[in-house]
Structure 1
């Protein structure tokens, strides 16, 4: 995509959207041929619209297909070395054609803006807006401006009207919103109904829009009065100068539209300060604009103004060889900064989701550990009940043993007393021996049971110790995870506070810079450079022309 096509894509989309009969995202080729012919005529091309009949075998085209056709058949004819001034002139003409097609969709219900002011706002909107593809339908596109860009226009308009932005808290939502605004919505937020008590309000706001239009669209880097030494008569005369990236124009008065002269700027120009040599011109702070074959001697009223003009001229010379102007480059840098911030927020959100997922997994593992602990405790209670039952049985066996011992003693005593009856003694003795064998067998079985019970008890104690150790490890791991989560929450909160503080500081610095613009000439040189470097480091700043 060429630079010119990229710059006018938003304007072409509005014309394309105005030609749609429904919301399908497609336009008939017959209507597109008329629009293509008008755009091609501005570029000194004829007949290129006929190629639409053979481009794709459908009677309609979506915007993506149409832009591709324009890039291949129309804008590809523009050489890459085309000067920036010529590209800007093409862009102006194409925007006017697109505005003629779509301006009926943006008619205001009242005389709040003039038609010229709405057209200027349309071009400002197309410069600062972005083209988005519908997530639900690939054939549908929309052009929206980011709320932060709209807020810049609101602040500049309020400052141009001499109104205090601090009284307009209703626009503060634009600082945090990421939902883009269409052109109708953009016009609506610029209807300052709360400030319409200003005298001659319509004329004032249209004039303010014209100033912003010159800064953003005409790419006016600086304008004001300077002295210029004549070429024939070597005397200094005061003119109203206007600096753009490609040229330095001067007029007799700031209200004049007839140009007294134009100096085409390129990379071969340099700016050099010079020292006044006579008492008559001592009040003029002179500097020289030098090209390869000529030098233009200029002068300012004071040293601070001279430094401002030298800086503006050097900036214009730097952008004179580029394919994009200063303001468009500034807008693009703000877009890149927003993309980086959005990418950073997405990465932070991704990390936060990962941490939450890990925390959930840890909680699940903790619940599993708790269930395992409950199961182990239940099993331990069962083992304890079995142990109590075994102890009871052992006690019963002990009682049986004592009873058997007493019976043995009684049997011995009975054998002594019954020596006379041998036969009976022999029989009783035999029975006694049998009972004794049974008793010994029971004692052996009792010892075996006691040994088995001891082994089971030791095994149970080992299992209980192992479960207690696992439970303590799980509790320690849970505490560590809780501490890590709290630490991450604190870091996330601090990061959000820093981001919020940075955004608040940015807004305050921008408001102060805009408020200091009328007295900017009185600031010392080192304060200007420090302020410019601070703002440039924080976020891109639009260089506003003093009135």
Structure 2
């Protein structure tokens, strides 16, 4: 069964730790073979240690590897059909083997108070209540929680008749931190064993009482009166109640029990009334013994025994062990509380962060509110300005309407003026056309005048040439006249000087008088012709 190896893991770890030769957290296979052979012999398995030679290729194993080998090769032979008593015997035998391996380390103490057997009993109690943890190197550590140490120490102190100081132990637990077995043993011996005032026998009885409660799962023990089966008389017996069984002895020193009552889920305990009044008696009903009548010393004892019987009946079918089950519950509760504290711590951190964030957000919001207030004031100012601008715009719109009406009127007037201008432009265009026509006519007339002028100039030139020719002829004629006059004068002079004959005088006279064709123009005619040319020019 898997829980058997789980119950023995702590004691096997102590043996494994005692076999370590260095700080590598490994043990040589040769040493583990001896431990494995002893465990296998206890469980009627022979030769299981030989498999270590072929298990992994290394010469040493870590604790995890060794536990895995035990689970697969040794404890796999334990099945669910194995009885609870057999499991208890195996567990006790393996614890004794592991104690033989590691006891030398724990029994060598400078100031020993407990005897060796008591130390062994405390060792088994420690392995029952301790839990595994890992250190910085990820190796196993078997430690006991401070609450469990306080439970054992307080029970030991009260069993010795001393006073328990919870506050002092809390301070001590905080100072120590983790309780390994040497620390656990040293704390009990040095602080909670009563020192030299108590004898060894009292300490042994107190530790034996602890051993019975935690290892042997004794729920309750004490004297009860039992009614016999054959003779209905009440006799005192020493009863020891465990989950699943109620054993009674003639006295506490008796080794063999006088009787054994098996308990299961079909059993129950109930009170007995005496005429409607509470009685010290109670009845235990079982399928085998029918009804067993018991009687406590007082009413308080009766109630305690009834509660203890109910607990023993409820846990009668458990194979894990009553105290181990309670220890697991306390461990689960501590883990839950630790997780809750961590969650609470995380929640507090989150709340602190949220509060800081909220404060920052509040400051931001305050800043934003101030900024918003300033913006609102600015917006109010802007609003007032906008209202003024709106009024001005409305006034401007009204003015614009007036201006638009004026512009419309001006536009109409401009259209009218434009129409007038267009008419004037058209008239001007017409005038320009007329002017253009007149200009063209004038140009034509000017061309004609120029042509006429050119013709006149040509004629003038011709007339000039003609005038020059006429002037030349005039000069020539004047010279001829002059010569004629001179000749006439000479002739007259000659005539005066000698008389001619008539015929000769006539010839001479005719020879000097020009003919009509050769007669030059008179000066008056020439002058009149030059005047006419000048007029034409």
CA distance in 1, matches of 2:329, 2:153: 20
Residue 321 of structure 2 corresponds to residue 325 of structure 1: yes
CA shift in 2, pair 1:86/1:368, >3 Å: same
CA distance in 2, matches of 1:151, 1:170: 11
Alpha-carbon shift at residue 283 of structure 1 (Å):
8.2
Match of 1:116 in 2: 117
CA distance in 1, matches of 2:364, 2:311: 67
CA shift in 2, pair 1:373/1:308, >3 Å: closer
Match of 1:270 in 2: 268
Match of 1:386 in 2: none
Q: Please give the residue correspondences for 1:44-443 in structure 2 after superposition, counting only pairs within 5 Å.
A: 44-107=44-107, 108-134=109-135, 136-138=136-138, 140-166=139-165, 169-173=167-171, 179-193=177-191, 196=194, 199-274=197-272, 285-292=281-288, 294-358=290-354
Which is worse superposed, 19-28 or 173-182? 173-182
| Cα contact 1:106–1:184 (8 A) shared by 2 | yes
CA shift in 2, pair 1:460/1:58, >3 Å: farther
Which is worse superposed, 260-269 or 235-244? 260-269
Render the CA deviation track for 1:66-93: whole Å, top value 9, x for unaligned. 1111112211211214333332222111
CA distance in 2, matches of 1:228, 1:15: 46
| Cα contact 1:151–1:171 (8 A) shared by 2 | yes
SS in structure 1 at match of 2:114: coil
Match of 2:452 in 1: none
CA shift in 2, pair 1:196/1:243, >3 Å: closer
| Cα contact 2:279–2:299 (8 A) shared by 1 | no
SS in structure 2 at match of 1:339: helix
Residue 18 of structure 2 corresponds to residue 18 of structure 1: yes
SS in structure 2 at match of 1:249: strand
SS in structure 2 at match of 1:46: coil
Render the CA deviation track for 1:289-340: whole Å, top value 9, x for unaligned. 3224644333333444333222222211221111222211111111111111
Match of 1:382 in 2: none
CA distance in 2, matches of 1:286, 1:330: 27
| Cα contact 2:246–2:263 (8 A) shared by 1 | yes
SS in structure 1 at match of 2:152: helix
Q: How many residues align?
A: 380
Render the CA deviation track for 1:138-175: whole Å, top value 9, x for unaligned. 3x211000111111111111111111113x74312267
Render the CA deviation track for 1:15-66: whole Å, top value 9, x for unaligned. 0100110121111111111111111222221222222222222111111111
SS in structure 1 at match of 2:293: strand
| Cα contact 2:244–2:313 (8 A) shared by 1 | yes
CA shift in 2, pair 1:245/1:356, >3 Å: same
Which 5+ residue runs of structure 2 have no aligned equivalent? 372-377, 383-537
CA shift in 2, pair 1:307/1:284, >3 Å: closer
SS in structure 1 at match of 2:189: coil
CA shift in 2, pair 1:111/1:351, >3 Å: closer
SS in structure 2 at match of 1:191: helix
Which is worse superposed, 170-179 or 347-356? 170-179
CA shift in 2, pair 1:292/1:249, >3 Å: closer
CA shift in 2, pair 1:308/1:351, >3 Å: closer
CA shift in 2, pair 1:367/1:313, >3 Å: closer
SS in structure 1 at match of 2:221: strand
CA shift in 2, pair 1:133/1:194, >3 Å: closer
Alpha-carbon shift at residue 287 of structure 1 (Å):
1.7
| Cα contact 1:283–1:301 (8 A) shared by 2 | no
Render the CA deviation track for 1:407-430: whole Å, top value 9, x for unaligned. xxxxxxxxxxxxxxxxxxxxxxxx
Q: Normalising to structure 2: TM-score of the pair? A: 0.63
CA distance in 2, matches of 1:283, 1:361: 67
Match of 2:464 in 1: none
CA shift in 2, pair 1:83/1:310, >3 Å: farther
Alpha-carbon shift at residue 196 of structure 1 (Å):
3.8
| Cα contact 1:276–1:286 (8 A) shared by 2 | no
Match of 1:532 in 2: none
Alpha-carbon shift at residue 374 of structure 1 (Å):
13
CA distance in 1, matches of 2:293, 2:343: 54
Alpha-carbon shift at residue 261 of structure 1 (Å):
2.2
